Chain A
């Protein structure tokens, strides 16, 4: 079956521009997560959506970062006024329920020049 998909796979942008990253979770998965991984580093939790509940935004590094999940399915992560330190791989994962095993998408590699 279809796994988690993300687009674009690569994004190069100039400092100060806004970017939108998209995630399509596995159908039927109620939980959706965004992570960030800088080169050679571990996964950094950003935000978590569960069903219709308010998202857990505790991992967002600044107010330039926001995310939405429409209709309980597709999610977009928006970074406004990008900075060079935002360069990383942004990974999306989904699971059937909280604390269940997560399945990851291939990630979006963001490069801010």
Chain B
């Protein structure tokens, strides 16, 4: 099993749609979880941290299921500007670094 696994997509959705991305991770001892966003030919930027109780930031909601080792990101009311690659990120077993998934590509069209 890969350390961090994501569906690469692409997800093609119309403006206003709700879209959900899933991610699974292999290290049950991981303590840190994040979603990053990467625009084409740009560096990754932090979108949001993921907390055990779930958290929301505007149109974005992140959920963590430790028992299933599963993380999700929900985007409501998609905007054209949401088009990007979304990277699932998990702390490594040693607690020394972050492991990045290969990303899920989202394309929002008008």
A interface, CB within 8 angstroms of B: 31, 33, 35, 41-43, 45, 48, 50, 56, 91, 98-107
Contacts and interface: CB of A to CB of B under 8 A. Distances in A.
B49 interface: yes
A56 B96 contact: yes
B97 A56 contact: yes
Given A91-B43, A104-B44, A45 B103 contact: no
B106 to A, nearest CB: 15
A106 B43 CA distance: 5
Contacts of A107: 43
Nearest to B90: A99
Nearest to B96: A98
B102 A99 contact: no
Contacts of A56: 96-97
A100 B32 contact: yes
Interface residues of B, number: 21
Contact of A105 (B43, B92, B97): B43
Contacts of B46: 101-103
A98 B49 contact: no
Contacts of A42: 87, 100-103
A41 B96 contact: no
Given A42-B102, A103-B46, 18 more contacts: A35-B100, A42-B103, A43-B44, A43-B100, A45-B97, A45-B100, A56-B96, A98-B97, A99-B91, A99-B92, A99-B98, A100-B32, A101-B34, A101-B46, A102-B98, A104-B44, A105-B43, A106-B43
Nearest to B48: A101
A102 B46 CA distance: 8
A99 B97 contact: yes
A98 B91 CA distance: 9
B95 interface: yes
A99 B95 contact: yes
B82 to A, nearest CB: 19
B97 A48 contact: yes
